[in-house]
Amino acid sequence: MTEFTPLLSFAGGMVIGLATVALMAVHGRIAGINGILNGFLTTQFNQDWAWRAAFLAGMIVSPLVLLGVTGQMPEISVPSATPLLLIGGFLTGIGTTYASGCTSGHGVCGISRLSARSIVATVTFMTAAIATVFLTRHVFGG
């Protein structure tokens, strides 16, 4: 069980939105994390690489800032075993690259622009995820 946190989650979502809007206002870029990771994996260390690397670095140090403000580290618990993490991570990288976007790129940036591709992508990955968890937890896992 995890605690239902509608207010905190809504507030966190708004903060994500704020950063997403700011990156568009200043850099003119979509805050899609798969796209940023993809552009980060290059051997051409130009200006486009620099802002992506900086954005990722900011994300990585964010727990420290939150620790400074709230006095506690964010709680994370990982239910999946290592083989599942490796297979699932690999599938995530393949899928988001073929689909040109993940939860942030399609789910937030794309849907707020009412992009048909992003709406279809989001409905597809959400449905696939719900079906997969149903299978792993209630058909094969239970």
Partner 1 sequence: MKALLAFVFGLVFGCGILISGMGNPAKVLNFFDIAGTWDPSLAFVMGGALLVTAIGYRLVFRMGKPLLAGYFSLPTRQDLDVRLIGGSAVFGIGWALTGFCPGGLVPVLGLGTAPLMTGAAILAGILAARWMIQLSYRKAAVQA
By CB under 8 A, tell whether 134 contacts partner 1.
Answer: yes
By rule CB under 8 A, what string of x and - marks binding of each residue 17-36 to partner 1? xxxxxxxxxxxxxxx-xx--
By CB under 8 A, tell whether 75 contacts partner 1.
Answer: yes
Answer for which of 46, 71, 76, 140 binds partner 1 (CB under 8 A) is 76
- Both tokens of 34, joined, read 């798969």
Q: How far is CA 15 from CA 20, 21, 53, 140, in A?
A: 9, 10, 20, 37
Q: How many helices (H) and strands (E) does the chain have?
A: 6, 0
DSSP 76-119: ----S-HHHHHHHHHHHHHHHHHTT--IIIIIIIIHHTT-HHHH
Q: How far is the CB of 1 from partner 1 (least distance, A)?
A: 5
By CB under 8 A, tell whether 15 contacts partner 1.
Answer: yes
Answer for which of 43, 46, 138, 140 binds partner 1 (CB under 8 A) is 138
By CB under 8 A, tell whether 132 contacts partner 1.
Answer: yes
Task: Name the residue type at position 57.
Answer: A
Looking only at residues 35 through 74 of this chain, which bind partner 1 when binding is defined by CB under 8 A? 37-38, 41, 47, 50-63, 65-66, 73-74
Residue in 62, 21, 30 with CA at minimum distance from that of residue 38: 30
Answer for which of 43, 44, 46, 98 binds partner 1 (CB under 8 A) is 98
Task: Give the total of residues touching partner 1 (CB under 8 A).
Answer: 110
